[in-house]
Every structure is written in structure tokens, then in C-alpha cells.
Structure 1
């Protein structure tokens, strides 16, 4: 019998490649999100360090010029932190979108794989029917030969 060939094999391969691409994009988006998280942590660390250092400076003596410089620097750090928070939110949305695309690609691939499995089951059932028919024909031929031979012997006797 002929070998099993799935008509939509090229479509299945395309779905698999697309799913792999979506997985790579998800990985890249997660790396960008992690980088944004690290940047936010660095900003928070700088703010905490600056506040600690400022408190130490205030304990020794108060200088308005130094105080103004620290205040300006803290404002700038807070703006940087807000930018980092916004960037992190954007990266989180990108990860969610990439994950959704991956789920859709996986679903589409599984649909085509189910079709392939069904086609293979149908192929195996057809192959089994053909084998049974062949064996029936073989058995019928043997029976006819045996019965025919016995009948010919009965006629001769």
C-alpha cells in the first residue's frame, strides 16, 4: 500500500515555524521587560542612596546650596523613576501581547495536528480494510480451489 502522506503537511510546518517565531518574540519581550525592571530597581536604589547620603549631610550641618542641589537631583531621579515605571508598564503590555500571539499560534498548530492525526487514523483504517479484503479474497480462492477439487473427486468416483 502507498505511504501515508498528509495533504496539509506544508501548512503544519508553516504553523510550527510561526509558533517558534512567536516563542522567540516572547523571549525577546521578556528580556526587554527584565531590563526595564532592572532599570527601575537601579533608579529606586539611587533614590534611596541619595536620600541616605543627604540625611548624613544634614546631620553634620545644613547648607542651603547643598540642600538645593540634592533637591534638584532627587527631582531628576524621581522623573527617571517615573519614566522607568512607564517603560516597565509598556514592556509588560508587550509581553502580554506576545504571549497571546503565542497562544493563538499554538492553538492553530494543534488544530492542524489534530487533522493530521485524524487523517492518519483514516489511512490506517483504510489500510486495515484493504488487508482484510485481500485476506478474504485469498481465503475465498483457497476455499473455491479446495471445494472444487473435492467436488471433482466426488464426480470421478
Structure 2
């Protein structure tokens, strides 16, 4: 099944912070942008507890708290597709988290292409001298930074062209 991500800058909510989210089956990496939506920075890693049929758990509550705390105008959730653009079970997890945030926050929630972000994040941590063990604690945040920064760059380029 082909799954299409959203396009940065389309239906843009304007100035303000964005929250980037890398959804995993065990952990959720979170990143935030500056107020000018130019640069992504790591925030934290949230332990994943909510499944498909569960009520919103502590992970959803924490994500909603972060949306409010940072005053996010847009939430960007990574869409884990393969290199051919096909979805998997992980796509269902990402879409479920996106749905729950959208339903409860009222903030614009977008799905962003996240192909290879974990690979890029792992390489960046390794080249920064972060050990593999230490990297496991922050890899999800680093992937969220990659997802969000890619979105911010695409948004900036697309808004210039419009």
C-alpha cells in the first residue's frame, strides 16, 4: 500500500514552533523548532504505552503536554515508509499517534516522509563521538530532529516558491 506524506508549506499555519515526532513501537522521539520554524532541536524520548485499541495512555498525555508547553502550531509525525514508498505496520502506529494528537489538541498534524532518518541520525551521533550504548538513549530524539528539520527546510523552500 502506497502511503503519501503531506507537503511542507501546504495549508501552513504560519509562524510558530513545530513539534517533530518519531514514533516507534517502544519509544517516541520528540523534537521542537525555534519560533521562526528554522531549526529543530531534541526535546525528549517518551516511553510508548498506547496501542491501537487502548485508551490514550501516558505517552499521548505527555505529547499533548509538550504541544501545549511549546505552543506548537503544527505537529510533524514521521511516516516510516520503505524506499519504494510502501507502508508497513509502523505506518499504522504513526497514523494512530497522529490521529490521537489531532483529535485532542486541535493543532495541525502532518505526516512527513521519514525514510532513512534513523540511519542519518545514527551516523550523525557516531560522527559526534556518541557511543552506541549512549546513542540508544537519544537516537529517537535525533531521528525526530531529522524528521522535523527536513520538514522545516521543505516548508521554507515551498513557501518561498508560493
TM over 0.5: no
Larger Rg: 1
More strand by share: 2
Shorter-chain TM-score tier: under 0.3
More helix by share: 1
